[in-house]
Amino acid sequence: MNKAEKKALIGFLSIYTLSAFILMSIIAFLYYNRGVVTINDQCSIEMSNASLRTEKELMHAQMEKIPFRFIPPKKDLRVGLFDINRKVLFSNLKDDKIYFSQNSYGDNKHLYHIRKLDAPIFKVAYIVVETDQNQVQKIQLLTLIAITIFASILFVLFVGYLLSKVLLKPIRERMKNLNRFIRDSSHELNTPVSALMMSTSSIKNSKSLNPRVLNHISVSAKLISQIYNTLSFVAFNDIDERYDEEFDLKDLVEQSVRFFDEIVTSKGSNIKCSLESAIVFLDKTRIQKVINNLLSNALKYGFAKTTIEVILKEHTLCIINEGKGISKEDQKAIFKRFERRNSTEGGFGIGLDIVKSVCDEYNIKIKIESVPNQKTVFFLTFPRA
């Protein structure tokens, strides 16, 4: 993972985790407040029940005419018995400062429930119940929430990391393809540019023009032109305007064949044409790029010193070359951008992507037939004007 990918990964995880943490904090805050209300209600019920039990014990002792024996309740509740003057009779309260004017209240440490008897029993006029169990339960609730948030953050980080890997995978593939595209561009341009420079030097040092040198210059210039047209279509296709017009497809095919004639001859091959007139209503520039890319591929992936056949009949253009062929599996993949069946033959892997995009745009039906190590045929069926 390079520096840029690490930076993107950290940024994604930071935003993803922070947003998840904020959302979980809001949920935790609401859950805590709801939990505190539930805890206080539960403690209030327990304290009320404890005061009722104490009052019942007082009444029982009075009815039975036996001495009242103060028995403190369970350890998480404490009880204080006060007379009419609010003086302590029996108590195990931690705080003797009681607000008798209220039925119940709480502070930062305890909750209190105060029960005033209708009539004093054994001088007891007030029963006060105290508990700090609410604070204990609040701490337990906070601990549970903190552990849950921590575990959730770890889970979110793990999921975020997996998501980032999934999201970065196509970007990494794209960057890999772009880097390869740049290298291939340099390599593809290097050959014709070097040939042009050598031919120019040869002309300067020669007193007469050599037809062979001029042919090299022409071939190199055409190769550079073809590379430029391919790159410019990829770069500017989204903003270029369409200029659809009616024309004879036969004339356009003948232009492309003449353009590649010198290149094909320089490689020891030749082009054989059988063309009928076919009137179409399309964008000339785009269609010529389609034809040029198919001819370029036929030459590039065909065997040396063979014949490339170009047939135009009944609005169907067939380009046939003898070569290694294209397997059924590759036939589905070759139209993807940057896809290349053979890295040894050069190219960018965008020619057939251009062909497919233009054919889709104009509803041109494209079909491939291929026999391994024999021949490959591309069929393009054009809509009639």
What's the rounded mean pLDDT across residues 120-143? Answer: 89
CA distances from 91 to 56, 71, 78, 97, 128 (A): 17, 10, 8, 12, 9
Please count the helices (runs of H) and the strands (runs of E) in the chain. 7, 12
* pLDDT for the residue numbered 365: 93
Q: Is the dihedral of CA 128, 133, 135, 137 positive or negative?
A: negative
Which run of H or E residues covers position 322?
Answer: strand 316-322
d(CA 65, CA 16): 72
> Is pLDDT at 213 greater than 60 in this prediction?
no
> Is pLDDT at 348 greater than 60 in this prediction?
no
CATH 3.30.565.10: which residues of the chain? Answer: 242-381
- The answer to whether the predicted template modeling score (pTM) of the entire model surpasses 0.85 is no
Contact present, 160 and 124 (Cβ < 8 Å): no
Q: How large is the C-alpha radius of gyration of the chain?
A: 45
Give the SS3 label for residue 104.
Answer: strand
* pLDDT for the residue numbered 341: 53
* pLDDT for the residue numbered 215: 61
* pLDDT for the residue numbered 248: 93
* pLDDT for the residue numbered 210: 59
- Phi, psi values for residue 109, rounded to 5°: -115, -35
What's the rounded mean pLDDT across residues 214-221? Answer: 62
Domain 242-381 has CATH 3.30.565.10: yes
> Is pLDDT at 362 greater than 80 in this prediction?
yes
